[in-house]
Amino acid sequence: MSDFEGLTALVTGGASGIGRATADLLAERGATVAVLDLDPSTVGEPLTGHRADVTDDASVRAAVAAAVDGLGGLDVLINNAGVGAQGTVEANSDEEWHRVFDVNVLGMVRTARACLPHLRASAHAAIVNTCSIAATAGLPQRALYSATKGAVHSLTLAMAADHVREGIRVNCVNPGTVDTPWIGRLLNAADDPAAERAALEARQPTGRLVSAAEVAGAIAYLASPLSGATTGTALAVDGGMQGLRPRPESR
Ligand SMILES: NC(=O)c1ccc[n+]([C@@H]2O[C@H](COP(=O)([O-])OP(=O)(O)OC[C@H]3O[C@@H](n4cnc5c(N)ncnc54)[C@H](O)[C@@H]3O)[C@@H](O)[C@H]2O)c1
């Protein structure tokens, strides 16, 4: 399929995990793709990498300007860079709350702000935000992370309303637990990584983790010009975790 032929895309957090799988898929489907990341050193042809920290407005503006210059315009923004946080509402300091909101929410705000003037010039403009099932289901030990993703969900709806008349669609994906380097780090830090992995797998009715490629497929669906009537939606990519209540298997 080459629905992105002739289009350009920018993927934040595109050097690893979901962002990298998305950048690769959009390129496979015909887009010219730039990646914005804290560490773009692993990004190579056909992608172009730009170093930026989404918590630093000047760095985001400079990287977006350089990326758009290289791409010759911008049709698609994938707002994906994010970090995790663990614990109940008592677990993290004010500084940590500010830091994680700064990356996960304000990072998307800064990038969208820098990209909107370019997206307005596109006939197929789309933004896809990487949200999470943590926005719509109560997960234990994820108070701070969930609060940031709830904000991303609301931001997606508000932006979709603000920009619909400008021809810019805004949607988000809500992944369950995805097998990325991030989850690898989380498992390595657990007391019993195998038991932790089994618990995460069992939480999803499919009985396995979501793959980064599966999330990339959903992001590409929302970003594609073929989805021109879809805006203001949150697409679950969670192995049924949000919507299904299967009975336990009989023993
Ligand atoms: N892995 C999961 O289970 C899962 C589930 C739901 C949602 N998500 C979301 O998916 C997104 C990507 O997660 P992933 O699992 O692919 O993680 P990952 O750690 O594999 O990749 C994240 C990328 O973001 C970059 N990044 C982090 N902070 C940045 C900053 N300040 N500026 C620029 N780049 C920065 C990192 O360098 C990295 O390349 C995040 O928004 C995360 O919240 C992940």
Band of the pLDDT at 136, cuts 50, 70, 90?
A: very high
pLDDT for the residue 248 = 79
**Candidate list 60, 124, 143, 145, residue with the active-site label:** 145
Please compute the mean of the pLDDT values over residues 9-14 and round it to a whole number: 98
Q: Which residue has the tokens 């050193």?
A: 41
Cα(179) to ligand 1 centroid in Å equals: 12
Q: Which atom in ligand 1 lies closest to the alpha carbon of residue 181?
A: 20
What is residue 143's predicted lDDT score, i.e. its pLDDT? Answer: 98
Residue 34 has pLDDT above 90, yes or no: yes
Residue 236, beta-bridge partner list: 174
| 3-state SS record for the chain | CCCCCCCEEEEECCCCHHHHHHHHHHHHCCCEEEEEECCHHHCCCCCEEEECCCCCHHHHHHHHHHHHHHHCCCCEEEECCCCCCCECCCCCCHHHHHHHHHHHHHHHHHHHHHHHHHHCCCCCEEEEEECCHHHCCCCCCEHHHHHHHHHHHHHHHHHHHHHHHHCEEEEEEEECCECCHHHHHHHHCCCCHHHHHHHHHHHCCCCCCECHHHHHHHHHHHHCHHHCCCCCCEEEECCCCCCCCCCCCCC
**Which residue owns the Cα nearest ligand 1 atom 32?**
53
| pLDDT above 90: percentage of residues in the chain | 97
Q: Answer yes or no: are the C-beta atoms of 42 and 6 closer than 8 Å.
A: no
Average pLDDT over residues 132-143: 98
Best mutation site among 108, 178, 215 for ligand 1 pocket (most ligand atoms within 8 Å of CB): 178
Please write the tens of the pLDDT for every residue from 185-194. Answer: 999 999 999 9
Q: What is the mean pLDDT of the chain?
A: 97
CA–CA gap between residue 81 and residue 63 (Å, rounded): 14
Assess whether pLDDT exceeds 60 at residue 251.
no
Active site residue 145: yes
Q: What ligand 1 atom has the least distance to the C-alpha of 39?
A: 37
CA distances from 211 to 22, 128, 129, 176 (A): 12, 18, 17, 10
Q: Which two tokens stand for residue 84?
A: 């995790």
Residues with Cβ < 8 Å from 162, sequence gap 6 or more? none
Pocket of ligand 1 (CB under 6 A): 13, 15-19, 37-39, 52-55, 80-83, 103, 107, 130, 132, 175, 177-178, 180-183
Angle at 54 between CA 9 and CA 75, to 5 degrees: 15
- The atom number, within ligand 1, closest to the CA of 133 reads 6
Q: Which residues contact 199 (CB under 8 A, 6 or more apart)?
A: none
For 100-112, write each residue's pLDDT tens digit. Answer: 999 999 999 999 9
Compute, in angstroms, the gap from residue 84 CA to the centroid of ligand 1: 8
Atom of ligand 1 nearest to the CA of 84: 43
